[in-house]
A and B are shown apart, each in its own frame.
Chain A
Amino acid sequence: MTARIGVVTFPGTLDDRDTQRAVRVAGAEAVPLWHRDKDLKQVDAVVLPGGFSYGDYLRAGAISRFSPVMESVIEQAKAGMPVLGICNGFQVLTETHLLPGAMLRNNHLHFICRDQKLRVETNSTAWTADYETGQEISIPLKNIDGRYVADERTLDMLEAEGRVAFRYLDVNPNGSLRDIAGITNEAGNVVGLMPHPEHAVEPLIGTGRTDGLGFFTSILKKLVDAR
């Protein structure tokens, strides 16, 4: 039996199908989860995919945070269940305060959609174990609310504790403080990032590379090893 990875669909989610596919390409079972359903169907991990949940009304991720499914996700994440938030999912994770800081409108106010070079800053999270620390990857980035902000104390803490998980390389696409593209919680089970690994898992599409597949093989390996 393989690992079961839940993928949440909110109203306005866009990337749930691609994320389910990425999970399957990695060899795990993708389990669709619905925002109004508190039942996590006994999944081993959860991915919050990208999109514009609840129309980004109020703030990106602000309303999704209070959905029934998130009650269960927050509770399980605090108990150690691996959770990955991609793009809008990252915004949801900061709104829940499972991850520190917040996401704001890009400093240039434009929507951007392009391939983005990143450095994996730590492979000691549930979602990055298959990468080398310091490895450079290129995966798609597409958002308008991608500017990561936190106060100086929080940023210093993240750096000191090795919790900056991904940093933008070559160019900072949105004004994120300290070029931060993604972070992890203290335990390493909750990870969020703005770029989209699920769009880069097969050579035929996207960048033509499979740089994003490591997220999904990392979690699969961890879950299978834990059995």
Chain B
Amino acid sequence: MARVVVDVMLKPEILDPQGQAVQRALPRLGFQGISDVRQGKRFELEVDGPVDEAALARIHEMAETFLANTVIEDFVVKVEGAEEPAASVAEAK
């Protein structure tokens, strides 16, 4: 069984008050030197069968229509263990 990871992040221009709250708490907790925090979501998908081009295309479609709301969020699809992110799939369309 292979694992595919989908990372979903708010687009850079969208205000992230949760990330800001985390960032503001850091100095108080003794963690210095962090100038910005953005909070996102990570989905770990256990895939039955081979992670081939067709499987990745379906996962891309899933991420675009469901896991992420592309009005406010960007996403990246990665095959765990693979050297490079599945960039060809993430950039399709």
Contacts and interface: CB of A to CB of B under 8 A. Distances in A.
Interface stretch (B11-19, B26-34, B46-54, B81-89): B11-19
Nearest to A106: B17
Interface in A147-199: 147, 149-151, 175
Interface in A32-89: 58-59, 62, 66
B21 A59 contact: no
A104 B20 CA distance: 14
Contacts of B66: 58, 62, 66
Interface residues of A, number: 21
B71 interface: yes
B71 A101 contact: yes
Contacts of A62: 66, 69
B40 to A, nearest CB: 12
A56 to B, nearest CB: 13
Nearest to A66: B66
Contacts of A100: 71
Contacts, number: 34
Interface size class on chain B is: 10 to 19
Mostly, the B contact residues are loop
Contact of B69 (A102, A109, A175): A102
B45 interface: no
Contacts of A107: 15, 17
Interface string A95-119: 1010011101111110000000000
A217 interface: no
B15 A94 contact: no
Most chain A CB neighbours (cut-off 10 Å) among B14, B66, B69: B69
Interface string B54-81: 0000000000001101011000000000
Contact of B72 (A66, A97, A102, A175): A102
A143 to B, nearest CB: 15
Contacts of A94: 71
29 contacts: A58-B66, A58-B67, A59-B69, A62-B66, A62-B69, A66-B66, A94-B71, A95-B69, A97-B71, A100-B71, A101-B71, A102-B71, A102-B72, A104-B14, A104-B72, A105-B17, A105-B18, A106-B17, A108-B17, A109-B17, A109-B18, A109-B21, A147-B15, A149-B14, A149-B15, A149-B72, A150-B71, A151-B13, A175-B17
Interface of B: 13-15, 17-18, 21, 66-67, 69, 71-72
Interface of A: 58-59, 62, 66, 94-95, 97, 100-102, 104-109, 147, 149-151, 175
